[in-house]
Amino acid sequence: MSELMTLSRTILQRKRSYEGATGDFTLLLNHIALAAKVVSRQVAKAGLLDVLGKAGKDNIQGEEVQRLDVIANDLLIELLNDLPMVAAIASEEEDNLQVTQAGRLDGKYLVCFDPLDGSSNIDVNVTIGTIFSIRKRKETGREATVEDFLAPGSEQVAAGYAVYGSSTMFVYTTGDGVDGFTLDPSIGEFVLTHPDIRIPDSPRCLSGNVLNRKNWLPGTQAFWDGIANSTDERYKKTGLRYVGTLVADVHRNLLQGGVFIYPDDRKSPNGKLRILYECHPLAFVVEQAGGAATNGRERMLDIVPTGLHMRVPLIIGNKQEVALYSQMLAEHP
Ligand code: AHM
Ligand code: MG
């Protein structure tokens, strides 16, 4: 693979097949990638800089300490705010949508993101990530509203994530397969290292917070136990893997095969994860890599959010196991 196959060059090459491509989308994706690079730098230095800990306390200079997730959120908003093609932004960290300055009336894109996924892992130097989703709005010439965001995941035009792990990776789809890039810190570029990612056929990993099992619905328990106790050849190499950072768990399962669950249970009737910032974008990526995602009753990408911060159960990964989950839920009411 040529070392020079950077993210920008890949977007440009893929885009040749688009009709009427204006370069807007390329610029937008490049800005998200730039934010990922800056966040990656902050994450790498986190233990040295005073960015860990809770926002709200003062550092030694008497300035307020900013948590990494606040830094990532502010950075993404600042970068996207200047782009005339972006009409509005919805962030997991913000109560309301942010109408941009440059694109408020005529911007054609809406961007959703979870600036730093895996909050509980931030302070302990365990992999975290940024998740994003891009939608096209149906009507321009006015400020975007919350309703503009409330569309099924199948209407996303692009989605992806960055994971800040042993190296930083950027993975995205525009609905034509999934490409993965690794940050080469010596040139400051994302380089194509994982073209056309396909999820392996069988699940190497089963991922879920199994200590919630006591609250799980009978169908979820039956699904989990069925795999854990199976003597089937398919599950011979399956092991438990759970980072507690959704994007890291899904990324690993995408490369190794696996299924991740954060279901609804007796304590959390809607699960924990947010549809616009986490579930829709990751479902788009995983489907494009040959996998599937559901809430246990419906395909994730068919679900229409009812609010910006709506939570949904998420079961995502190998097609066969995602289908098995829905079957177990139906068979064990
Ligand atoms: P966050 O957006 O505040 O980071 O919360 C979501 C995270 C996911 O990354 C992860 O899959 C999940 O919460 C872990 O939850 P739990 O600690 O209940 O297992
Ligand atoms: Mg999150």
Q: Please choose from 272, 277, 315 the residue to mutate so as to test ligand 1's pocket, defined by most ligand atoms within 8 A of CB.
A: 272
> Per-residue pLDDT averaged across 218-243, rounded?
98
CA distance 94 to 108: 21
Mean pLDDT score across all residues of the chain: 92
Calculate how far, in angstroms, residue 245's C-alpha sits from the geometric centre of ligand 1: 6
57, 68, 71, 194, 203 from 65: Cα distances, Å: 6, 9, 10, 37, 42
Q: What is the pLDDT of residue 274?
A: 98
Residue 193 CB partners (closer than 8 Å, separation 6+): 1, 169, 180, 181, 182
C-alpha count within 13 angstroms, C-beta hemisphere, residue 153: 30
pLDDT category, 20, cuts 50, 70, 90? low
- Which phi and psi angles does 99 have, rounded to 5°? -80, 135
Q: What is the pLDDT of residue 331?
A: 98
Given a cut of 90, whether residue 19 has pLDDT beyond it is: no
Task: Write out the H or E segment, with its range, that includes residue 254.
Answer: helix 246-256
Calculate how far, in angstroms, residue 161's C-alpha sits from the geometric centre of ligand 2: 11
261: closest CA among 223, 288, 299, 228?
223
Q: Which two tokens stand for residue 131?
A: 């998740």
Residue with tokens 């994971």: 163
Identity of residue 25: F
> Per-residue pLDDT averaged across 170-181, rounded?
96
pLDDT category, 223, cuts 50, 70, 90? very high
Q: What is the pLDDT of residue 62?
A: 47
Residue 231 CB partners (closer than 8 Å, separation 6+): none
Asked whether 69 lines ligand 1 (CB < 6 A), one says: no
Q: Whose CA is nearest to atom 14 of ligand 1?
A: 244
Q: What is the pLDDT of residue 295?
A: 98
Lowest mean per-residue pLDDT among 1-5, 204-208, 262-266: 1-5
Asked whether 120 lines ligand 1 (CB < 6 A), one says: yes
Calculate how far, in angstroms, residue 194's C-alpha sits from the geometric centre of ligand 1: 26
The answer to whether residues 220 and 261 touch, using CB atoms and an 8 Å cutoff, is yes
Show the beta-strand stretches assigned E in 137-175.
156-164, 168-173
Q: Whose CA is nearest to atom 5 of ligand 1?
A: 118
pLDDT category, 86, cuts 50, 70, 90? very high
271: closest CA among 301, 314, 309?
314
The answer to whether residues 153 and 303 touch, using CB atoms and an 8 Å cutoff, is yes
- Which phi and psi angles does 37 have, rounded to 5°? -65, -40
Q: What is the pLDDT of residue 60?
A: 47
- How confident is the model over 139-161, as pLDDT tens digits? 999 999 999 999 999 999 999 99
CA distance 188 to 297: 43
Report all structural domains of the chain as residue ranges with CATH numbers, in order of start: 2-194 (3.30.540.10), 205-331 (3.40.190.80)
Calculate how far, in angstroms, residue 114's C-alpha sits from the geometric centre of ligand 2: 6
Identity of residue 122: I
Q: What is the pLDDT of residue 161?
A: 98
Asked whether 114 lines ligand 1 (CB < 6 A), one says: yes
